[in-house]
Amino acid sequence: MGELRAGPAALAILLCLASALGLAWFWLSAVSRLAAVLHRAADEEGPFSAPLPIPRLPAIGRVEEGLGRLARSLEARAALVTRLRASDEAIVEALPDPLLILGADRRLLRANAAARRVFGLQREGAARGDMGALLRHPLMAAALDRALVDDGPQSTELALPGSLTRELSAQVLALNPPLADGGKLLVVLTDRTAARAVERMRVDFVANASHELRTPLASIIGFIETLRGPAKDDPVAQDRFLGIMAEQSERMRRLIDDLLGLSRVEITEHQAPEGKADLLALLQAEAAALEPLFAGRGVHLTLALPEGPLTAAPANADQLAQVARNLLDNALRHATREVRLEAGHGRQGAREGVTFTVRDDGPGIAREHIPRLTERFYRVDKARARGVGNTGLGLAIVKHILARHRGQLTIESEMGLGSTFKVWVPGE
């Protein structure tokens, strides 16, 4: 009887154990599936989008329901953060001033559109050229060091040497905490080159104008006094003096026009031109405009231009036309019988470009004068230059225009054999 009573008890115990194990298995299975989903969520970088398992137990179901609400809330917040980040990046990208993001190791991480345009950068890639020189500049390096140590923005002003000196003002701020991409330093740049050029232009304009205008102005004043006094009743002297006064007035007008033109060129010299220029068309137009002057002085203008297209790019067509006009006018003043205008394609190192050349058969220029021809108001023969209407600014204007175009002017001359002025600018 004892054995019979022990059998049902053992069976009951076994059933209880089996039920407990089954219930535990259900719990563990649900918890394991939930844990697997949470692990996948933790491994995902973006918003969690995996579906939650269908609950088998009510208690686990409430947990899974809460996690589902949490996942949807986190996904909505992640989407909001993404939109805000995109909005912030769009604002930074549109800022007119160059802006840089650097890592703690001074490595360039990001640059906005203004910075890429100023320094010729791609969206991705290491700093190079002027940007590399900026980050290596001792004054910039010192400002970056101070920003990492001290609180508050650090400022500095510096000049980047090169074909055109660039004057910059920089504000540096440490980012605490760092950005998600490791950005630790914010650099905001202001290009002061144009403003400083305007300041120098004002000073130079006053100095040059006062110096160069003094002589013709004194001459005009002297003739006015003469006409009021000894020559007031002398018609022959009056006609002669009025003619000289008209010449001096025209000289002052040309001088002022050239000074203003040079000032305008200097203001934009640091800004690379945009667009393209049809070199053949502008050379033909300038030659046609000056043809009456050549004919009036008995000088033949010969054109040796190719039939195919010659495109300068990037280029400002009006400024290149002024270069051609100044060189042709300069050749006309010194030629005896002929001026020759040629054009074609040419390379400058590894760069493709276009060229045009102006040759005259004038008296030539001594070798020691050639390096100084593009200086403002430099004249080889001052008396003769003033006599033919030379202000001494034409070649200076040419030099500054070509500097803006990253071009080059080559001058060759020998005494008695004439002079050759060759222009090269980047092109297609």
Specify the pLDDT at position 381. 63
pLDDT range class, residue 256, cuts 50, 70, 90: confident
pLDDT beyond 90 at 325:
yes
Specify the pLDDT at position 84. 66
pLDDT beyond 70 at 332:
yes
Specify the pLDDT at position 205. 66
**pTM value?**
0.54
pLDDT beyond 80 at 188:
yes
Tell me whether strands 300-304 and 277-278 are parallel, antiparallel or unpaired.
Answer: unpaired
Is 145 in contact with 154 (CB distance < 8 Å)? no
pLDDT beyond 70 at 149:
yes
Of 122-126, 169-173, 257-261, which one has max mean pLDDT?
Answer: 169-173
pLDDT range class, residue 61, cuts 50, 70, 90: low
Q: Which of 249-258, 344-353, 393-402 has the lowest mean pLDDT?
A: 249-258
Q: Which of 146-155, 273-282, 332-341, 347-356 has the lowest mean pLDDT?
A: 146-155
Which is more confidently placed, 57 or 130?
Answer: 130
Specify the pLDDT at position 358. 96
Specify the pLDDT at position 398. 93
Specify the pLDDT at position 318. 92
pLDDT beyond 70 at 141:
yes
Dist CA 334 CA 363 (whole Å): 7
pLDDT range class, residue 49, cuts 50, 70, 90: low
Which is more confidently placed, 91 or 242?
Answer: 242
pLDDT beyond 80 at 195:
no
Q: Which of 169-173, 178-182, 280-284 has the lowest mean pLDDT?
A: 178-182
Same fold for the domain at 92-195 and the one at 273-427?
Answer: no
Specify the pLDDT at position 291. 92
Q: Give percent of the chain with pLDDT exceeding 70.
A: 79
Q: Where are the domains positioned within the chain?
A: 92-195, 273-427
pLDDT beyond 50 at 1:
no
Specify the pLDDT at position 34. 64
Contacts for 215 with CB less than 8 Å, ≥ 6 apart: none
Dist CA 34 CA 55 (whole Å): 9
Specify the pLDDT at position 278. 94
Is 3.10.50.40 the CATH classification of the domain at 92-195? Answer: no
Specify the pLDDT at position 283. 94
Looking from the CA of 225 toward its CB, the CA atoms found within 13 Å total 6
pLDDT beyond 90 at 66:
no
Specify the pLDDT at position 280. 94
Query: What architecture (CATH level 2) is domain 273-427?
Result: 2-Layer Sandwich (3.30)
pLDDT range class, residue 384, cuts 50, 70, 90: very low
Alpha-carbon Rg of the chain, whole angstroms?
A: 39
pLDDT range class, residue 276, cuts 50, 70, 90: very high
Other CB atoms within a 10 A radius of the CB of residue 103 amount to: 15
